Structure 1
Amino acid sequence: MLKYLISINPLGFMYGSAGAFLSPENLVGRSGAKFPPDAATLAGLMFSINKVNKEYSQEKLRDNLYIAGPFWANSTNKSTKQNFFVPIPWHKIIAKKGFGEWKIEKDEWKLEKNIDKPEPDYRWQTIESWKTTPKGLIKTDKVADNPWKFVSFLHPKIQNSERCVEKSNGLFLENSVQIPDDVCLVYLSTYPIENGWYKFGGENHIVEISCDQLNPKTINLLNQKIGKSFALITPGVWGSNRISHRQPQDNSFPETMQMLTDKPVPYRYRSQGTLGRGRYAVPAGSVYVLKEPINKPWWEWDEKWFPQEGYSLKKVGCGLCLPVEIQGVN
């Protein structure tokens, strides 16, 4: 059971993942840029820390550590951290001038809207407003767009022998992410981490990490049984260890009747110090409507539904989801 809320306050810029390729619209290589860091990044940090302080056996941590995220929150105080932001389910369209909502009618999606162009302006909502209707989310502080922005700047390449920029090709373009001072990244965990400053991510950024007990209301929400309809709040990697699918391929997973999603997002998983295979994930916010209810919370889902690449992807929060109410779904 996820019991702890881990908040990460970056000190200055953080580097976003390099884009997959250049394009005329993305000359600085931000095509496919990826941020915030996946839950596996925090899991790796916690394993590294445990090697030093040896608080738990590596086997115990390997079998029982679950990390989920990424999310974000206002870092003003503990209460705002607890009401962190999660992706808005795709059946809700929240715009500045109106809203829309998808429902099921005669086994097909139908959109109800009060705006001409039902395009979302907001991608995140607070966890405490999860069950709020689209109309109830309009013009409130319960919804938000990405609080960070990508910034490109010239980065110096330093000589090996002295602290001077190399004379030839001494500058290169760096892709970084700027986060407001009052915003922190949020992850959920089954194990705590000691408060302090740590090196975080592949670029070893110095960050301040705080750990608190997770709000009981949120724990209860995360432990609700999943019926016929649910929405991912973290990316979902399904299928075998080699091929990605839109849903688990095990026969015990109910057949998907309808789905609302966007194009797949890049996902790379590193295990045991090796470079992980590039995968594609179903993006967070995707909505599933099943023919039969699962009747189990995500926590109790069968491990066979998740790829086992040396370390079950369920342990890094793959496909963490919450139930949603879709009009027309009994």
Structure 2
Amino acid sequence: MFKYLITIQPLGLMYGSSGAFLSPENLVGRSGMKFPPDAATVSGLFFSTNKSMSFAEHQELCENLVVAGPFWANLDQLDDFYVPLPRHKLIAQTTSDEWQLINHHWCLKSQVKTDEPAAETLDQNESDYHWLRLDYWDDDPEIIQQDAKEKSPSVAEKSWNYVPLLHPRLKKNERHVVTDDGLFLETAVQMQDDTCLVYLSTYNLADGWYQLGGESHLVEVHSIELTPETPIQQRLQHPIKQAFALITPGVWGSNTLSYRYPKSKTFAHDYHKIKLLTDKAVPYRYRIGYGEQKPESFKNRAPGRLSRGRYAVPAGSVYVLPKPLNKTWWEFPQEWFPEKGLLKKFGVGLCLPITIAGLNKNGVERGEIDQQN
């Protein structure tokens, strides 16, 4: 079980440009941007700050370190941080709605007037918010929206903004811009002053300033010990019944192919009875490896190799199973994840139980995989 809450607060700007291509609509390096940093990036911070560890200590860290995220929180309310909004809850600034299961089909509560599923869908309507505060996880969309108006922000879009930054390329021997192509425009990320990034971890990082990411960006890191009474600890101890929502991307399947759900009979006896609410897949890659050097030489190891690319089910996706799973995320079998790599140690597929309106006690009994993209 996770033991620490790792908070990361950027000291200034962080670059958000990341990707192999530029779109015709955006030629300033913002295409494919990736923020906030995923759990694999924070996992690398544990190893880069402990280069003097022995081989045995390194092995122990590899076996027991689990990092999950990213999330974010207000500095005055770290316990109830923000997690991705489950896709069955649609919350806009003026209206709210919820997906239900009626006669084994997804339909909106506002469209249900009879026992038959509504013909219309919400293809063109999306939630105005994508982050939900943890203490509102079990509340109805109407309550969440009302509290967002009257009390504190129960939902949010994000806690950072993208700002253009004119970046100089200086001469080697003087602090002047080079004559040709001396300036180029990049997209930087600026977080709100009263917010921070949040990650769950089985190990703590010493409080202090760290370099995280490229361009020598500095962040302030704090480790907060989690107690059994902490809200996230209590929720993660609840076993998954018939429905759950991902709060981190899920990488399922095999070593060569990506799937929308684990390819294992222990997950569901009949995959054609799984109900799924999701969006298009997201790329998932991480760096790992030590080049040609032996693993014993940690101090002078070569840069890590870029691992095989995969696609992940995005955070917020909702699964409804034919029968209760009765397992927590920590009890998920290792064979549900691809064998190569350390995917479960990067917190992929971390999920919390949810309640789906219209789901009877016998669960989903028939029908094919029903997904809303």
Name the TM-score class by shorter chain: over 0.9
Report the Cα offset of residue 97 of structure 1. 0.3
- Residues 156-194 of structure 1 show CA distances to partners (whole Å, capped at 9, x for unaligned) of 112233332221111122121111111100000011111
Instruction: Decide whether aligned partners of structure 1 residues 16 and 22 sit closer, same or farther in structure 2, where only a CA change above 3 A counts.
Output: same
Aligned residues: 325
What pairs with 1:44-59 in structure 2 (closer than 5 Å)? 44-52=44-52, 57-59=57-59
Q: Aligned ranges for residues 1-330 of structure 1 at < 5 Å?
A: 1-52=1-52, 57-75=57-75, 77=76, 80-113=77-110, 118-139=125-146, 140=148, 141-215=153-227, 216=229, 217-254=231-268, 255=271, 257-272=274-289, 273-310=304-341, 312-329=342-359, 330=361
Is there any run of 5+ residues in structure 2 with no aligned partner, and where? Answer: 112-121, 290-303, 362-373
Q: Give me the TM-score of the superposition, normalised by structure 1.
A: 0.93
Are the equivalent residues in 1 in contact too, given 2:243–2:319 (CA < 8 A)?
A: yes
Runs of 4+ more than 3 Å apart: 52-56
RMSD: 1.9
With over 3 angstroms needed to count, the CA separation of the structure-2 counterparts of 1:297 and 1:315, relative to structure 1, is same
Q: Secondary structure of the equivalent of 1:51?
A: coil
| Separation in 1, partners of 2:4, 2:55 | 17
Gaps of 5+ in 1: none
Between 1:83-92 and 1:164-173, the stretch displaced more is: 164-173
CA distance in 1, matches of 2:176, 2:238: 57
Whether contact under 8 Å (2:30, 2:186) holds in the other structure is: no
Question: 312-321 vs 9-18, which deviates more?
Answer: 9-18
Q: 1:181 to 1:54 in 2, by over 3 A?
A: farther
Normalised to the residue count of structure 2, the TM-score between the two structures is 0.83
Letter in 2 for 1:275: L
8 Å CA contact 1:5–1:213 kept in 2: the answer is yes
Letter in 2 for 1:286: S
Distance, in Å, in 2 between the alignment partners of 1:7 and 1:23 is 33
Tell me if the contact between 1:229 and 1:289 (Cα under 8 Å) persists in the aligned partners: yes
Q: Which moved more, 1:198-207 or 1:27-36?
A: 27-36
For residue 61 of structure 2, give the secondary structure of its aligned residue in structure 1.
helix
Q: CA deviation at 1:55?
A: 11
For residues 3-52 of structure 1, what are the alpha-carbon distances to aligned partners after superposition, in whole Å with 9 as ceiling and x for unaligned? 11010010111111424532233232433322100001111001122223
